[in-house]
Structure 1
Amino acid sequence: MSKVFTFTPDYPHPVCSGEIIRGGTGYHYPDGGDPLPKEIEHIYPDYSLYPDLCKDTAYGFLTRGCPRGCDFCIVAKKEGQCSVKVADLSEFWNGQKNIVLLDPNMFACKEWRDLSRQLIDSNAWVDFSQGCDIRIMTEEKAEYIRQMKIKQIHFAWDRYEDKDVIISKFKMFKQLTGWNYRKMTVYVLCGFNTTIEQDLDRIYTLRDLGYNPYVMIYDKYKLKQGDELKKLQRWVNSRFAFATVQKFEDYKP
């Protein structure tokens, strides 16, 4: 039995078993619990367990850890405050048309060039599903990404105070790749240490820059029905509503 979040309730139904083994961040945060044996950690995934989800799609980590150590994020405590290579692409990919990467900060890893080349050579559609750190983006890294068949790349704008450097990096990345919002989504952390005005400033700025903002609410489960942040999330994350209603104050759910 596994779960990611500590606030997620356990499976409520009886389990016909002599022993239940529980694992995952939801049970063992922040110490992480016992690591998996090496031969299990590096085994090729059994994608047949989820035939619909994994139809011609490979999922996995090339790196673990992140040097940022942000207070709102569990990665540094769980995986270490350094981005390190943990696998080659062949450990979880064997010719599938799509690759979904779960890495927290691949481009902070010193082997990012080698890993990027593996993704380019795969000729598969690549989805960076987690929020890549735009603050460490360079023209060289952007060029490697441009050579990949990118289905979707996600960035993150968590700290409002990083506004100046983030805007300049987003402008540089868009200019070098020539991509638009259809390929570039930016997670916007709300409800942690920002005001609604700061949240809207980031959202409007990203839209003006040609990126697709996506609101992520910190500890959303604690919010009550009708909370302003829930309304904000519903507006931004609905592409139709966000494209139709230009200002948040005009949005009527």
Structure 2
Amino acid sequence: MKISLLTDCPKHNLALMKLSTYHKKAGDQVKLNMPLWPADYRYGSYIFENGIRFGDQERGGIGARPKVRLPEDIEKLMPDYTLFNVDHSLGYTFRDCYRKCPFCKVPLLPQNLLHHSIWEFHEKRFDTIELLNNNTFFDTLWEYTFKEIYKAKLKIIEHGMDLRMLDDHKAWWIKRLMWKNEPKFAWDQMKDEKKITEGIKLLQKHKIEGTIYVLMGFNTTFEQDLYRCEIINSMGSKPFPMLYKPTKELRRFRRMIYLRYYSKYKSIKEAWKDYKRGRRK
């Protein structure tokens, strides 16, 4: 059979990588993102709600049908790392997050409380592993994951750990692991300021250089967005704006932060005033 796999994911799609493994084992021919190819069967997996859709017979993904799951026998398969141009392993050791944040789509996904070993998806030829977990620290066995990664001497990529759940022991492990890039965290809502700043103090204590995502344009004012970036910067971490509803002002502010224009100033507020006026230090 000719199997067509379709997605709008810019980097990789784990579900399609497992479907590719399944069909290649069955002797099928598999092609990615070739919608005009005369395939016998098409799968689509999408992350964006309003993207282009093609004539797929089965469709899933958080942007299309978030409740759709792979059959268990396919879910257990090793991903096909040749399908996308990736140079590291990727997968989930724990999928769920219990926060139910109003801006997040993770609560729409089917509940999955199982812990998984990295060896269910890690290939030994890679020296780096990417955890796709939505909240690693909600996994009661999170330390087993970190131990496996440490013992295998792997570099780690993680898309955002929960500062509100950080303690000395977790911070000790974060410092101990080898990171492909800086470890990532998030400050999404103003109401979490106390817990977030306590978490950042732990990063300082353990000498962890982290990047902290700052959700902007959801339920905060620009002044509150700037304030959070200011606090993060003053405590030795790097703010990283994430725009929920982009505006011209937010895009410009984000550009200033990405360029680290503020590093020459005493405060981000001062830097922003000059940046808006087109001044340069």
Normalised to the residue count of structure 1, the TM-score between the two structures is 0.83
Q: Which deviations, in whole Å up to 9, do the C-alpha atoms of 1:170-206 show, x marking residues without a partner?
A: 1112212x132xxx11110001110101000110111
Is contact 1:84-1:110 (8 Å) kept? no
The aligned amino acid for 2:170 is K
**Paired residue total:** 228
Does the CA contact (< 8 Å) of 1:120 and 1:148 recur in 2?
A: yes
1:132 and 1:79 mapped to 2: Cα distance?
21
- CA shift for structure 1 position 244: 4.4
- Name which of 104, 108, 117 aligns with 1:73: 104
Specify the alignment match of 1:211 in structure 2.
237
Could you tell me which runs of 5 or more consecutive residues in structure 2 were left unpaired when the two chains were aligned: 1-43
Q: Secondary structure at the match of 1:144?
A: helix
Q: Cα offset for 1:86?
A: 4.0
**SS across alignment from 1:28:** coil
1:3 is aligned to 2:9: no
Q: Distance in 1 between matches of 2:175 and 2:114?
A: 21
1:237 to 258, 261, 268: 258
TM alignment of 1:1-253, pairs within 5 A:
1-10=44-53, 20-29=57-66, 32-33=67-68, 35-51=69-85, 54-55=86-87, 57-80=88-111, 84-95=113-124, 96-129=126-159, 131-151=160-180, 152-176=182-206, 178-180=207-209, 184-220=210-246, 223=247, 227-239=248-260, 241-244=261-264, 246=268, 247-252=271-276
Q: What amino acid sits opposite 2:93 in the alignment?
A: L
Alpha-carbon distance, 1:106 to partner: 0.6
SS of residue matched to 1:68: coil
| Structural RMSD (CA) | 2.0
**Whole-angstrom CA distance in 2 between matches of 1:215 and 1:97:** 29
Task: Provide the C-alpha distance between the structure 1 equivalents of 2:136 and 2:188, rounded to a whole number of angstroms.
Answer: 17
What secondary structure is seen at the aligned counterpart in 2 of 1:5? coil
Alignment check: 8 A CA contact 1:58 1:100 kept: yes
